[in-house]
Amino acid sequence: MSEFNRIAVIGGGSWATAIVKMLSENLDEIGWYMRSVYAIEHIKRNKHNPNYLSSAELHPEQLDLSSDINEIVAKYDVLIFAIPSAFLNGELEKLTTPLKHKIIFSAIKGIVPETGLIVGEHFNEHYNIPFENIGVVTGPCHAEEVAMERLSYLTIACQDQEKAKKLSLKIKGRYIKTKISDDIIGTEYAAMLKNIYAISAGIAHGLGYGDNFQSVLMSNAIREMKRYIKKVHKMKRNINNSAYLGDLLVTGYSVFSRNRMFGNMIGKGYTVKSAMLEMNMVAEGYYASKSAYKINKENGARTPIIDAVYDVLYGKKEAKEVFEKLTNKLD
């Protein structure tokens, strides 16, 4: 599989930067598309991304940087997308180069709002890419800790286990351990749902709930995740594995979690708009909560936590009242 020597990262944010840093240990050349010409020139001169993970040292001599997505897509066989889900469709609309024969891995933790699909399903249905050529890169892993070279674990999921294995070998390194999975749909839904649960943990903290409640909230969240994913994609999986429970815990508790930070601000009384402006970062769980809520209307899983987050963010209900009611639905 020589194509796994031709890998490009699509996106310019923190997670894209972390993936480039990981790949740099195993590849001589990495394609990298980012919109910002300023960021590209800064990386070439100063060896770090000026906007995200600026502490991560990059190696410009290894990087084929371009602000033209078509140039990068045309040159590379394996594409790792690391763009916030809310902006993915806009970037894909720029494409004139076909994706049909590419191998696509998604490091995106959300749902494409225009279609209501997780990223893998979106590529399959709208770009005719077979599922054996679609994969997922998921945690538990915060980009900030990759930048600090702290020991981190990733799960690489693909229907074609050989492709998952090949990418995992290109990502693993001194401080990165990897495992593979064939649960592409389940791991991608889990990556989306954990952001919603992290928002709920943040809201609870902002409202003044303590660690005792947070532990009950997370315990209920993993069971709710299991019910939800079972409805959308029934197969044998261990929900306690790192790709599900581990990713939920790190996103729900970590100081690096943007979704928890966003929820904390909502709990303290910020409006959605003011919280996003102050953070100056995308909280994927905000968009995911609306899509997940709508999807579940068709599937009918019992999801009191998702419902509570949706009611606060989109139903314009008071967080204090919503969470008082939620406390009586948890065990």
Q: What is the CATH number of the domain that holds 264?
A: 1.10.1040.10
Final residue in a domain of this structure, among 182, 216, 244: 182
Final residue of a structural domain among 182, 207, 233: 182
**Selected catalytic residue, list 21, 109, 170, 194:** 194
How far apart (Å, rounded) are the C-alpha atoms in residues 102 and 100? 6
Residues 40 and 141 in one domain: yes
Domain that holds residue 243: 186-327
Residue type, 107: A
* Helical ranges in 172-283 per DSSP H: 184-207, 211-232, 247-253, 258-267, 272-279
Whole-structure pTM value: 0.90
Q: Is 109 a catalytic residue?
A: no
214 and 123 in one domain? no
Q: What is the predicted pLDDT for the residue at 100?
A: 87
pLDDT at position 86 is 86
Please give the distance of CA 96 from its chain centroid, rounded to a whole number: 26
**In which residue are the tokens 């944010």 written?**
13
Same domain for 15 and 140?
yes
Kindly state whether residues 210 and 162 are assigned to the same domain.
no
119 in the same domain as 238: no
Conformation bin of residue 185: beta by default, left when phi > 0, alpha when psi is -120 to 50: alpha
CA distance 100 to 172: 27
User: Do residues 123 and 237 both lie within one domain?
Assistant: no
The Cβ-side half-sphere exposure at 302, using a 13 Å CA radius, reads 6
- Amino acid in the structure at residue 326: L
Domain total for the chain?
A: 2
Q: Final residue of a domain: which of 153, 182, 211?
A: 182
Q: In CATH, what number is assigned to the domain containing residue 127?
A: 3.40.50.720
At residue 1, the pLDDT reads 52
Please indicate, yes or no, whether residues 129 and 194 belong to a single structural domain of this protein: no
Residues 105 and 176 reside in one and the same domain: yes
Cα–Cα distance measured from residue 99 to residue 86, given in angstroms and rounded to the nearest whole number? 20
Looking at the fold, whether 136 and 258 belong to one and the same domain comes out as: no
Q: What is the pLDDT of residue 32?
A: 98
Among 40, 38, 51, 50, which Cα is nearest to 9's? 40
- Both 224 and 273 in one domain: the answer is yes
Query: How many CB atoms sit inside 10 A of residue 240's CB?
Result: 10
**Three-state DSSP state, 305:** helix
pLDDT in tens, the chain (331 residues): 578 999 999 999 999 999 999 999 999 999 999 999 999 999 999 999 999 999 999 999 999 999 999 999 999 999 999 998 889 999 999 999 999 899 999 999 888 988 888 899 999 999 999 999 999 999 888 889 999 999 999 999 999 999 999 999 999 999 999 999 999 889 999 999 999 999 999 999 999 999 999 999 999 999 999 999 999 888 888 898 998 999 999 999 888 888 999 999 999 999 988 998 888 777 888 989 998 999 999 889 999 999 999 999 999 899 999 999 999 999 9
**Per-residue confidence (pLDDT) for residue 109, from 0 to 100:** 85
Same domain (yes/no): 98, 235: no
